[in-house]
Amino acid sequence: MSETRLIYGFHAVISRLRQKAAGVHEVYLDQSRGDRRMRDLAQSAQARGVHVIMVEGARLDGMTGHARHQGVAARVEAGTPARDLDSVLDGLDEPALLLVLDGVTDPHNLGACLRVADAMGVHAVLAPRDRAAGITPTVEKVASGAAESVPFLAVTNLSRALRELKERDIWLIGADQGAPRDLYSVRLEGPLAWVLGAEGEGMRRLTRESCDELARIPMLGAVESLNVSVSAGIVLAETRRQRRSRG
């Protein structure tokens, strides 16, 4: 029997049903909920041939470690590991757009970054394997399906991975509030990877030194810093805007 794992939350389960229903073994629903949203999810699962099991809320609490499961969980196939970087890059028909996260340890931030990456058409998200968040049920819930659609590559050595990107002629731009140039003065049409650090600490020294260029997000108000997922959304949206306007 194939290895399985548990996912939970409406968005994560619905997205999995839509994208890979064949890999969903069963869906667990809180039997005390009879609202339309729950009924629609049950009908969607049954229409795809997925077994629906009604359980007590206490059982769902135990299955998910008392996470905020919203009364919904699913047992799914663990799936294959994310593709390697070469296979991601070799399959592109447009300039590469990557997101590198250095030291993001909060699973909610990682999930939000994956969601932004999916919305902005990022081809892969890279992060160090150690001392950083990886894909967990919490990440999947926050990502609302993006953990399934965006390749997430956990690398053993981030500095080496950045060198490999350079060897593939991918320009590395680090988001750094101390940079002399702002985001809107940087040309973003070619193959590139945005490199972001954790909120507060920012990028590590070696990561910053590996970047070809640094750019800051103009801050016009009293707030001095932004959440990493918000920063990712701003720099990726500007990248897409430039690429579209310059053809």
pLDDT in tens, 146-198: 887 889 999 999 999 999 999 999 999 999 999 999 999 999 989 999 999 98
Q: In what order do the strands lie in the sheet with 4-8?
A: 4-8, 72-77, 24-30, 51-55
pLDDT on residue 34: 86
pLDDT tens, 227-245? 999 999 999 999 999 998 8
Nearest to 182 by CA among 209, 228, 218: 218
pLDDT at 92 (0 to 100) = 79
Model pLDDT, residue 236: 97
Q: Is the pLDDT of residue 100 over 90?
A: yes
Please determine, for residue 80, whether its predicted confidence score (pLDDT) is greater than 60: no
Confidence (pTM): 0.75
pLDDT at 137: 85
Residue 108 neighbours by CB distance under 10 Å: 15
Burial degree of 58 (CB within 10 A; 0-12, 13-18, 19+)? exposed
Q: Which pLDDT score, from 0 to 100, does residue 2 have? A: 62
- Decide: 25 and 75 in contact? Cβ < 8 Å: yes
The pLDDT of residue 208: 94
Distance CA 105, CA 198 (A): 8
Architecture of domain 4-77: 2-Layer Sandwich (3.30)
CB count within 10 Å of CB 218 equals 10
Q: CATH assignment of 85-245?
A: 3.40.1280.10
What residue ranges do the domains of the chain occupy? Answer: 4-77, 85-245
- Residue range 17-74, pLDDT digits in tens: 887 888 899 999 999 998 999 999 999 999 999 999 999 999 999 988 887 899 999 9
User: Dihedral, CA atoms, 123, 128, 132, 137, nearest 10 degrees?
Assistant: 50
Say yes or no to pLDDT of 3 above 60. Answer: yes
Q: How far, in Å, CA of 57 to CA of 183, rounded?
A: 48
Which run of H or E residues covers position 170? none
Per-residue model confidence (pLDDT) at position 83: 63
Task: List the 152-155 sheet strands across, edge first.
Answer: 152-155, 124-128, 97-102, 192-197, 171-175, 213-215
Using the predicted structure, report yes or no on whether residue 116 has a pLDDT greater than 60: yes
List pLDDT tens digits, range 197-220.
Answer: 987 778 999 999 999 999 999 988
- Phi first, then psi: give them for residue 172, nearest 5 degrees: -100, 120
Token pair listed for 109: 């931030």
CB 122 within 8 A of CB 149: no
Question: What's the mean pLDDT in 108-122?
Answer: 95
Tokens of 31: 């039997």
Mean pLDDT of the chain: 89
Report DSSP state, residue 82: P
CA distances from 232 to 163, 175, 222 (A): 21, 9, 20
Confidence class of residue 128 from pLDDT cuts 50, 70 and 90? very high
Residue-level pLDDT at 247: 61
Evaluate if residue 81 carries a pLDDT over 60: no
Choice between 15 and 157, residue whose per-residue pLDDT is larger: 157
